[in-house]
């Protein structure tokens, strides 16, 4: 199920809210079981195809956690085997076709495999790894219901934010969080409304422009690609951060605090700074479970740089089975290392230049992320650099002309609604990214102005629910 | 701000904006879901078949239904009303399956028990290959507009397209001093003639053939499974409705698709199965006393003339006009006595036809020239030649224009791409129509001026031709 659907807003969430808090009054255990069951329903909404993989993953990891907790001597071995099994599962479903395609290419063979990627496998697999590491660290396995609720908790199940068991499980058990809290409801609703608006009225509009350009790259002009590049950056940001806002907001209504995932990433003054603000829960996971175990910055400068490259390589591989993701990860790693070298040399970079350089680098690298191949990315960069045609295709501008802007253009007697709409969207996106405090940071602030804005955001977003709209990270 | 105040403000404002949107959509109701249109206040464009058809059927007054796929979309209810003495509604459902069209007919008959007449196309190509129920490749089927369940109406009441693109634009239009309220006429509803202007005749037809013109496929005949399926399709989606409404006369017709269509059937080898399926469907329908069945493919002069078509199936609107006339006069009607011979004759004709000759036909360039040549059959009024020098100073006085439908002539002098502007004025000097025609060849080219808007004397002004000749009224 998606947050941005009639089913979720009109049926699932009201039912969950009422059922969860009513059952909590009677029995906290029943309330949590209900929440677990509803989370499973949320996950399996589109069918049972993903169920076997999730069940296998749950069985293996809970069994491994039990062994780790029970037998200190074998804990290390079991942990290693379990992490390997999780990675193998992820590898099989996400990378097997890609790996075989490369084997076939280099060895001239014809191996084939057909797999259907289970929903949210990248996220729940990392949550499983977090859980067994948590058990290894604390030496205590949680009860099966607690474990199941931790993994299946629906707001973060398919797209994060990745939550640490040590932070989430105590909240899910906390008796003080069993009753509805007006402040949490208000803050949660506000976050949800703003997230829904970001997804449906910003991300989806930018997405239509990006899809238009990628569907006919041969006829796209240099100006088209120049506009498409930031459009994809905005699409991805509003899509993913919108989802995170909704997830955090829904959890907040249920009195659960999920970690921050986006902290105004486009205010970053360096790539290193950017990664402290973008998909924070993933960066935190990789830092905690890859960078630090590899030695972090404790084993010399060169080793630190290698560790940084490794973390970004893993991030690239985690994102998908394509050389574009791997190169994207390595480029981010290389730039981070370069920044560290400049830092060490105590070279000061002007803040404005730092911001501009970071924004441009992020744009270029996310274009690679969106491209179907490295060759396609290079071709797009070449078209931009050649600057042969700086005219913008009317069809691209037309992607920004949504129902509201067409009406607005008519009321204001603006003849070319497409161009005006495009300008409006890019300006609004930049302002939202650069000026106000982000939704997560300001989540507890309740003012008349944000009550009005939240109501209007919900209204406009609801009007757009009828269209087809899937989150980008549903594919990861 | 206190939490409860915040929640109160948020809740009240949310309720207020939703209430405003819901009431506005309910009142304007652009898809006629709740009530008849307020045509005294707003102008209702008819431009979305699937979203509007159910509401139109439920909330408008009529006693005859004209429906079918795109092959029925160019019918004019004004012509049907005049010929049959009814007050008809047109419900086009482009690409729709028999099931979907039958569902629409049932809605009309259930809500309008006084309905006397139903005219529907039976698309022959759907007998063997058509969709079973609702085609999802035509877009999401808006169930919420077809059922009476108020709990799913939120998809209509709170919908950006409905609110912003329709209701608010209609309200803004209505507020203009020069606004003319009303509704798209059923003559124009889904009439695709303007959309496909200039697309008739070669080379469009030529590009439609999927196979080599000499290709002949292994003969395929109707097997038992096909027979069962065709029987079920016709029984459930045509005959059952006719039997349930014995007082309603159903005029069903196999549309006169182009001869070119059969070339692909020969190449595939399934022409035998196709004709057998048609014969079986006819046999079933003819058993029903209130179904009158027609097949116009016997008009070989029409089906073998590529200038009548914009592709292998879709004919010009004048063919729709003729079909109404033929049905009224019981022409080309199939009966229990003649249908077997008819289909045997059709099969023999298609197998022996010279398909290559289709590709060497002269192109008339002007779509309505084909209409003009058939107009005598439609109106009973013979053409009247006006001669080569009927034009005086670029003007042509036509005291009897109201009796004719088209003014035809030939012109030369422009190079391809140049235009010829033709305006028609009534006797008071009011402009009835202006059309811009394009020269497509560097030679004599035929043009046809639509005079159907003229009810009396008219004057035609032609701007752009160096040499004009062969004027005639049709």
> B396 - beta bridge partners?
B460
CA nearest to A461 within chain B: B160
pLDDT band at A3 (very low <50, low <70, confident <90, very high): very high
Q: What are phi and psi of A68, to 5 degrees?
A: -60, -45
pLDDT digits (tens, 9 = 90+) for B443-462: 888 899 999 989 999 999 99
State the Cα–Cα distance between residues B59 and B112, nearest whole angstrom.
Answer: 9
H helix and E strand count, chain A: 23, 0
Query: Which residues of chain A have a CB within 8 Å of the CB of B6?
Result: 186, 446-448, 451
DSSP A338: H
Closest by Cβ to B158, choosing from A406, A455, A463: A463
DSSP B439: -
Distance from CA of A65 to the nearest CA of B (A): 42
pLDDT digits (tens, 9 = 90+) for A238-291: 999 999 999 999 999 999 999 999 999 999 999 999 999 999 999 999 999 899
Q: Is B7 on the interface with A (CB under 8 A)?
A: yes
From A145-154, A191-200, B360-369, the region with the lowest mean pLDDT: B360-369
**B139-160 per-residue burial string, b: 16 or more CB within 10 A, e: under 16:** eeebebbbeeeeeebbbbbbbb
Q: Residue B131 has what pLDDT?
A: 67
Per-residue pLDDT averaged across A95-105, rounded?
A: 87
State the Cα–Cα distance between residues A192 and A457, nearest whole angstrom.
Answer: 10
Any residues with CB less than 8 A from the CB of A340 and at least 6 apart, and which? A272, A304, A305, A308
Closest by Cβ to B17, choosing from A10, A410, A459: A459
Q: Residue A71 has what pLDDT?
A: 84
Distance from CA of B264 to the nearest CA of A (A): 32
pLDDT digits (tens, 9 = 90+) for A336-350: 999 999 988 888 888
Closest by Cβ to A448, choosing from B9, B14, B159: B9
pLDDT band at B50 (very low <50, low <70, confident <90, very high): very high
Q: Residue A160 has what pLDDT?
A: 82
Q: Residue A376 has what pLDDT?
A: 96
CA angle (A427, A430, A432) in 5-degree steps:
105
Q: Residue A168 has what pLDDT?
A: 95
Specify the higher pLDDT residue, B73 or B417: B73
Q: Is B212 helix (H, G, I), strand (E, B) or coil?
A: coil
Q: Quick check: A36 and A149 in contact, CB under 8 A? A: yes
Interface confidence, given as ipTM, is 0.90
SS (H, E, C) B367-398: HHHHHHHCHHHHHCCCCEEEECCCCECCEEEE
pLDDT band at A470 (very low <50, low <70, confident <90, very high): low
State the Cα–Cα distance between residues A465 and B155, nearest whole angstrom.
Answer: 9
Q: Is the pLDDT of residue B211 over 80?
A: no
From B224-238, B301-315, B386-400, the region with the lowest mean pLDDT: B386-400
Give residue limits of the domains in chain A: 6-178, 184-269+349-475
Between chain A and chain B, how many beta carbons pairs sit less than 8 Å apart?
74
Q: Is the pLDDT of residue B167 over 90?
A: yes
CA nearest to B11 within chain A: A455
DSSP string, A264-329: -GGG-SSHHHHHHHSSHHHHHHHIIIIITTTTTTSS-HHHHHHHHHHHHHHHHHHH-SSHHHHHHH
pLDDT band at B413 (very low <50, low <70, confident <90, very high): confident
Q: Is the pLDDT of residue B132 over 80?
A: no
CATH number of the B382-473 domain: 2.60.120
Q: Residue A326 has what pLDDT?
A: 94
Q: Is the pLDDT of residue A456 over 80?
A: yes
pLDDT band at A476 (very low <50, low <70, confident <90, very high): low
Q: Residue B129 has what pLDDT?
A: 84
Per-residue pLDDT averaged across B1-30, rounded?
A: 96
Per-residue pLDDT averaged across A10-24, rounded?
A: 97
Interchain contact, A452 vs B13, CB within 8 Å: yes
pLDDT digits (tens, 9 = 90+) for B226-268: 999 999 999 999 999 999 999 999 999 999 999 999 999 999 9
Is the peptide bond prior to B151 cis by the omega test (within 30 degrees of 0)? no
Query: Which residues of chain A have a CB within 8 Å of the CB of B18?
Result: 459, 462
Q: Quick check: B435 and B422 in contact, CB under 8 A? A: yes
Per-residue pLDDT averaged across A27-54, rounded?
A: 93
CA nearest to B14 within chain A: A455
Give residue limits of the domains in chain B: 3-183, 206-360, 382-473
Q: Is the pLDDT of residue B206 over 80?
A: no
Interchain contact, A451 vs B10, CB within 8 Å: yes
Q: Is the pLDDT of residue A469 over 80?
A: no
pTM of the predicted protein model: 0.88
Q: Residue A287 has what pLDDT?
A: 94
State the Cα–Cα distance between residues A372 and B153, nearest whole angstrom.
Answer: 41
Per-residue pLDDT averaged across B59-72, rounded?
A: 97
Q: Tell me the CA distances in angstroms from B384 to B377, B408, B472, B473, one per residue in order.
A: 14, 10, 6, 5
Q: Is the pLDDT of residue A296 over 80?
A: yes
Q: Residue B212 has what pLDDT?
A: 82
């Amino acid at each position: 199920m998606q947050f941005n659907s009639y089913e979720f807003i009109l049926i699932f969430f009201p039912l969950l809210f009422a059922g969860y808090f009513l059952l909590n009054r009677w029995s906290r255990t029943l309330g949590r079981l209900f929440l677990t069951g509803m989370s499973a329903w949320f996950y399996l909404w589109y069918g049972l195809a993903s169920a076997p993989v999730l069940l296998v993953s749950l069985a293996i990891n809970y069994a491994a956690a039990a062994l780790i907790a029970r037998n200190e001597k074998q804990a290390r071995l079991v942990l290693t085997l379990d992490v390997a099994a999780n990675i193998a599962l992820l590898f099989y479903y996400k990378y097997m076709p890609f790996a075989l395609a490369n084997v076939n290419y280099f060895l001239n063979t014809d191996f084939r495999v057909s797999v259907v990627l289970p929903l949210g496998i990248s996220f729940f697999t990392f949550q499983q790894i977090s859980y067994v590491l948590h058990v290894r660290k604390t030496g205590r396995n949680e009860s099966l219901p607690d474990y199941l609720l931790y993994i299946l908790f629906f707001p973060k199940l398919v797209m994060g934010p990745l939550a640490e068991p040590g932070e989430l499980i105590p909240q899910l058990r906390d008796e003080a969080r069993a009753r509805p809290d007006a402040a949490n409801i208000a803050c949660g609703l506000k976050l949800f409304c703003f997230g829904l608006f970001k997804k449906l009225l910003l991300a989806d509009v930018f997405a239509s422009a990006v899809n238009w350009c990628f569907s006919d790259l041969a006829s796209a002009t240099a100006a088209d690609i120049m506009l498409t590049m930031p459009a994809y950056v905005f699409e991805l940001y509003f899509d993913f951060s919108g989802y995170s806002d909704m997830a955090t907001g829904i959890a907040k209504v249920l009195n659960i605090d999920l970690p921050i995932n986006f902290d105004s990433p486009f205010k970053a003054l360096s790539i290193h700074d950017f990664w402290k603000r973008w998909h924070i829960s993933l960066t935190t996971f990789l830092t905690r479970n890859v960078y630090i175990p590899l030695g972090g910055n404790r084993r010399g400068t060169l080793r630190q740089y290698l560790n940084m490259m490794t973390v970004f390589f893993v991030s690239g591989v985690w994102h998908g089975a394509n050389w574009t993701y791997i190169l994207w990860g390595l480029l981010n790693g290389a730039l981070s290392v370069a920044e560290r070298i400049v830092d060490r040399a105590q070279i000061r970079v002007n803040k404005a230049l730092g911001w501009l350089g970071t924004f441009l680098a992020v744009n270029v690298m996310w274009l690679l992320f969106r491209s179907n191949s490295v060759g396609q990315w290079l071709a797009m960069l070449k078209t931009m650099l050649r600057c042969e045609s700086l005219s913008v295709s009317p069809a691209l501008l037309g992607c920004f002309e949504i129902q509201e802007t067409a009406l607005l253009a008519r009321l204001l007697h603006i003849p070319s609604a497409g161009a005006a709409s495009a300008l409006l969207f890019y300006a609004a996106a930049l302002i939202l990214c650069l000026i106000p405090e982000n939704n997560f940071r300001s989540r507890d602030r309740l003012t008349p102005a944000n009550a009005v804005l939240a109501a209007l955001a919900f209204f406009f977003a609801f009007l757009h629910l009828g269209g087809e709209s899937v989150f980008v990270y549903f594919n990861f | 701000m206190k939490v409860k105040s915040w929640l109160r403000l948020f809740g009240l404002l949310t309720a207020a904006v939703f209430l405003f949107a819901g009431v506005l959509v309910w009142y304007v109701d652009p898809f006629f879901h709740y009530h008849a249109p307020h045509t005294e206040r707003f102008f209702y464009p008819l431009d979305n078949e699937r979203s509007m058809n159910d509401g139109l059927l439920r909330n408008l007054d009529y006693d005859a239904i004209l429906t079918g796929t795109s092959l029925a979309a160019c019918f004019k209810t004004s012509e049907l009303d005049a010929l049959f003495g009814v007050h008809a509604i047109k419900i086009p459902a482009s690409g729709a399956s028999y099931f979907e069209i039958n569902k629409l007919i049932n809605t009309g008959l259930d809500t309008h028990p006084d309905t006397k007449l139903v005219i529907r196309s039976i698309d022959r190509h759907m007998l063997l290959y058509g969709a079973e129920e609702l085609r999802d490749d035509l877009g999401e089927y808006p169930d919420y507009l077809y059922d009476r369940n108020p709990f799913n109406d939120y998809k209509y009441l709170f919908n950006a397209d409905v609110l912003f693109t329709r209701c608010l634009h209609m309200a803004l239009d209505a507020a203009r001093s020069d606004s003319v309220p009303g509704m798209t006429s059923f003559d124009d509803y889904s009439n695709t003639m303007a959309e496909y202007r200039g697309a008739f005749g070669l080379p469009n037809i030529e590009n439609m053939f999927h196979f080599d013109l000499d290709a002949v496929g292994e003969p395929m005949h109707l097997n038992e499974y096909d027979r069962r399926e065709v029987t079920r399709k016709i029984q459930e989606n045509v005959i059952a409705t006719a039997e349930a409404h014995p007082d309603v006369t159903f005029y069903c017709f196999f549309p006169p698709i182009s001869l070119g269509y059969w070339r692909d059937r020969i190449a595939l080898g399934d022409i035998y199965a196709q004709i057998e399926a048609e014969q079986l469907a006819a046999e079933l329908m003819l058993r029903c006393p209130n179904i009158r069945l027609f097949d116009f493919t016997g008009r070989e002069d029409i089906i073998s003339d590529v200038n009548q078509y914009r592709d292998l199936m879709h004919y010009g609107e004048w063919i729709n006009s003729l079909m109404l006339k033929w049905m009224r006069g019981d022409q080309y009607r199939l009966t229990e006595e003649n249908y077997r011979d008819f289909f045997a004759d059709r099969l023999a004709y298609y197998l022996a036809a010279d398909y290559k000759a289709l590709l060497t036909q002269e192109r008339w360039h002007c779509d309505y020239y084909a209409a003009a040549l058939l107009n005598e059959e439609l109106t009973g009024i013979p053409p009247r030649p006006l001669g080569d020098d009927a034009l005086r100073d670029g003007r042509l006085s036509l005291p009897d224009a109201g009796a004719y439908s088209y003014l035809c002539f030939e012109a030369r002098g422009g190079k391809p791409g140049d235009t010829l502007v033709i305006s028609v004025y009534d006797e008071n000097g009011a402009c009835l129509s202006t059309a811009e025609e394009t020269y497509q060849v560097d030679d004599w080219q035929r043009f046809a001026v639509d005079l159907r808007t003229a009810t009396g004397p008219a004057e035609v002004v032609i701007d752009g031709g160096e040499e004009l000749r062969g004027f005639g009224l049709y």
